[in-house]
Amino acid sequence: MLKVGLLKELKSTEGRVMLTPEGVKVLVKNGIEVFVERGSGEICRFPDIQYERAGAVILPAMEKVMDRAQLLLQMTPPQPIEFELLNDSHLFISFYNMLSYREDRFRSLLETKASVISAELIQDDEGGYPLLNSMSEIAGHLAINQAAQLLTVTAGGKGKLLPATALSKPAQVVIVGAGKVGRTAAQAALKVGANVHLFGLKEKKISALQEEFEEAEVSLYSEEKLRQVLPESDVLIISVFSLKKEYTIKISAEVVNLMEEGSVVIDTSINQTAVLETSYISNLEQPVYTIDGIIYYSVPNISASVPVTASRVITKKILNFLKSLALNDLKETLIEQPGLLSALCMYKGKVTNRSFSERFGHEFYSIFELLELNL
């Protein structure tokens, strides 16, 4: 049996936690010991006393948690200060964002011999990605919330409402990418009364998108079509993402600047796919910047701005996996929860995810062979 440890986030802009007090209560009822680093839930308003009442033991520092627990939880990947504390007894679960993870960090993490699960790659019984999709849904809603706020003159915008009024037309929202983020943003924009043009990236899915979004304009993405719609648009949302790196869309500054000054760009793809020439990573402390009169918001962990909602969703989606990992050995867990197979990126110093292996140039090892799995 593994003991669970919740680590406090080291980045000040990350307030989400992977385990709420409600989740701790479930684990403890199943006989699992849980250790929480002091202050882990402060930003998302889960004080230590709530974790204690749920049955967790509060420890004063990461060193204490990592010494007592083997199954470690943290939203952001381990930082260098944590590498020296990791060893082959640990199983570390985090959102690794493979497409933006640094090679030197990957190599150092591999050298710790810890096993690693990338939370966004965990799959459900239908082959979906429950944690990734949940954060993407939140990001889609927040993209429209941010766009509405940034369009106001107090935020530097052109001073338009998203919905129509009795004497004014609705704002025009253009969305590039029709994955979970893009579709959620389109639904949210339509719900508040904006006009929406949704660009899909796969020709075979356009008909289904047109049926799903009858009130929107839906078309296959091309730069030519984007150039046609941007001059009359108020908001541009970039939601291009693929775990398989299928898309190589590039949008130049010249194209973005077809929009009027005071228009808004929300780039939710910023740490996954470099789509916009003019976009760069911002954070929740300084989320907005202006280039050529266009307002940009490009926070990669946008769902961290609503950490209470996000943390509760994450806990609900990951809890069954945590119970299996804590109560069984890894081989039994992978048989019981095959959705963890592709998410297990490292096992005791060996790379066990082929995409990570190819990206960082390390030898790939099959977890089936390492653990003698027969599924």
Question: Are the C-beta atoms of 164 and 194 separated by less than 8 Å?
Answer: no
Q: Quick one: DSSP state of residue 11?
A: S
Q: How many CA atoms lie within 13 A of 336 on its CB side?
A: 14
Q: Kindly tell me if the per-residue pLDDT of 78 is higher than 70.
A: yes
Among positive and negative, which fits the CA dihedral 13, 93, 314, 182? positive
CA 297 to chain centre: 16
Which helix H or strand E contains 196, and what residues bound it? strand 195-200
Is there a single domain that holds both residue 176 and residue 277? Answer: yes
Q: Specify the 3-state DSSP secondary structure of 290.
A: strand
**Where a domain ends, among 249, 283, 305?**
305
Is there a single domain that holds both residue 206 and residue 279? Answer: yes
Domain for residue 84, yes or no? yes
Domain for residue 233, yes or no? yes
> Quick one: pLDDT at residue 97?
78
Is there a single domain that holds both residue 155 and residue 295? Answer: yes
Region 188-204 average pLDDT: 96
Region 121-147 average pLDDT: 95
| Residue 75: how many other CB atoms lie within 10 Å | 23
Q: Kindly tell me if the per-residue pLDDT of 243 is higher than 80.
A: no
Q: Quick one: DSSP state of residue 215?
A: T
Domain for residue 118, yes or no? yes
Domain for residue 147, yes or no? yes
Is there a single domain that holds both residue 117 and residue 149? Answer: no
Is there a single domain that holds both residue 197 and residue 315? Answer: no
Helices marked H in the chain — which ranges?
21-29, 48-54, 62-68, 80-83, 103-111, 130-150, 180-192, 206-212, 223-229, 253-256, 307-327, 330-336, 354-360, 367-370
Q: Kindly tell me if the per-residue pLDDT of 101 is higher than 80.
A: no
DSSP 81-130: HHHTT--TT-EEEE---GGG--HHHHHHHHHTT-EEEEGGG---TTS--H
**Where a domain ends, among 305, 321, 338?**
305
Q: Kindly tell me if the per-residue pLDDT of 374 is higher than 70.
A: no
Cα–Cα dist 55/190, whole Å: 44
Q: Kindly tell me if the per-residue pLDDT of 375 is higher than 70.
A: no
Is there a single domain that holds both residue 171 and residue 293? Answer: yes
Is there a single domain that holds both residue 105 and residue 175? Answer: no
Domain for residue 263, yes or no? yes
Q: Kindly tell me if the per-residue pLDDT of 149 is higher than 70.
A: yes
Domain for residue 375, yes or no? no
Is there a single domain that holds both residue 71 and residue 86? Answer: yes
Q: How many CA atoms lie within 13 A of 47 on its CB side?
A: 1
What is the reported pTM? 0.93
Q: Kindly tell me if the per-residue pLDDT of 304 is higher than 80.
A: yes
Q: What pLDDT band is residue 2 in, cutting at 50, 70 and 90?
A: very high
Cα–Cα dist 283/259, whole Å: 24
Is there a single domain that holds both residue 320 and residue 345? Answer: yes
Domain for residue 156, yes or no? yes
Q: Kindly tell me if the per-residue pLDDT of 99 is higher than 70.
A: no
Is there a single domain that holds both residue 230 and residue 343? Answer: no
Is there a single domain that holds both residue 269 and residue 314? Answer: no
Structure tokens at 269: 């793809």
Q: What pLDDT band is residue 244 in, cutting at 50, 70 and 90?
A: low
Lowest model confidence (mean pLDDT) among 59-73, 87-101, 215-229, 333-347 = 87-101
Cα–Cα dist 118/77, whole Å: 9
Q: What pLDDT band is residue 248 in, cutting at 50, 70 and 90?
A: confident
Q: Specify the 3-state DSSP secondary structure of 218.
A: strand
Question: Are the C-beta atoms of 209 and 218 separated by less than 8 Å?
Answer: yes
Provide the number of structural domains found in the chain.
Answer: 2
**Where a domain ends, among 280, 305, 330?**
305
- Looking up residue 239, the CATH number of its domain turns out to be 3.40.50.720
Cα–Cα dist 190/37, whole Å: 42
Is there a single domain that holds both residue 191 and residue 311? Answer: no
Write out the residue range of the structural domain in which residue 330 sits.
Answer: 4-128+306-370
User: How confident is the model over 252-288, as pLDDT tens digits?
Assistant: 999 999 999 999 999 999 888 889 999 999 999 999 9
Cα–Cα dist 203/215, whole Å: 19
| Residue 168: how many other CB atoms lie within 10 Å | 10
